Amino acid sequence: MTAMPAGCSRYVRLSPDEFRARLPEALDIYVRAMRYPAGTAEQRAPMWLTHALREGWRCMAALDADDVLLGVAYGYRGRAGQWWHEQVRHGLSRRAGAAEADRWLSDYFELTEIHVRPENQGHQIGEDLLRSLLEGVPNANVLLSTPEGTSRAWKLYRRTGFVDVLRDYHFAGDPRPFAILGRPLPLDPR
């Protein structure tokens, strides 16, 4: 990693227990960064805890000098039978064919969440979290979903080599269009 971004003191890998202990902080960042209604955190908490039990799960946190969470990123090995996997396989198979779905989904790490406090965005924390999270991941590809539209997240993903896998996709139960982005691993050096 390069020099520490403004406000960030260190990056640490969180164990599932440490993640559980910081879940309220992480969900607060998620709700604020995504501009979701306050009740969203209560709905997401059980799902995030379940994710921490999945094969290959890993989590990185950005902390300030007072040990306050500035950002969090986590993911795990994607597999058939997982909700996101099945949603993406369905959409990609319909639009690009089963062979393209297999190419992306046969061996991938799902970058499930990456969020930085809004007041700390734009200071390299997101990219540092992304790079440290994906360092040493043994999967062939990394995939993620992000709402369509210009954002700092989009700029980060493009800057780090993510390409379009599936655009304007609607997940079941969400009216917003999403993009599925991916790239081979490992990431290119800075």
Mean pLDDT of 88-101: 96
Domain of 138? Answer: 10-184
Q: DSSP letters along the chain, please?
A: --SPPTT--EEEEPPHHHHHHTHHHHHHHHHHHHT--TTHHHHHHHHHHHHTTSTT-EEEEEE-TT--EEEEEEEEE--TTSHHHHHHHHHHHHHH-HHHHHHHHSSEEEEEEEEE-GGGTTSSHHHHHHHHHHTT--SSEEEEEEESS--HHHHHHHHTT-EEEEEEE--TT--S-EEEEEEESSPPP-
Express as a percent the part of the chain with pLDDT over 70: 99
Q: How far is CA 115 from the centre of its chain?
A: 8
Question: Model pTM greater than 0.85?
Answer: yes
Would the pLDDT of 174 be above 80? yes
Q: Which amino acid is at 52?
A: A
Would the pLDDT of 52 be above 90? yes
Write down the pLDDT at residue 5. Answer: 77
Would the pLDDT of 3 be above 80? no
Is residue 115 domain-resident? Answer: yes
Q: How confident is the model at residue 20 (pLDDT cuts 50, 70, 90)?
A: very high
Is residue 4 domain-resident? Answer: no
Is residue 157 domain-resident? Answer: yes
Write down the pLDDT at residue 101. Answer: 97
Is residue 3 domain-resident? Answer: no
Is residue 101 domain-resident? Answer: yes
Would the pLDDT of 2 be above 60? no
Is residue 2 domain-resident? Answer: no
Is residue 5 domain-resident? Answer: no
Task: Give the contacts of 138 (CB within 8 A, at least 6 positions apart).
Answer: 56
Split into its structural domains, the chain has a count of 1
Mean pLDDT of 24-53: 94
CATH number at residue 34: 3.40.630.30
**Residues carrying an active site annotation:** 157
Would the pLDDT of 72 be above 60? yes
Write down the pLDDT at residue 87. Answer: 97
Would the pLDDT of 6 be above 80? no
Q: What mean pLDDT is reported for the chain?
A: 95
Is residue 174 domain-resident? Answer: yes
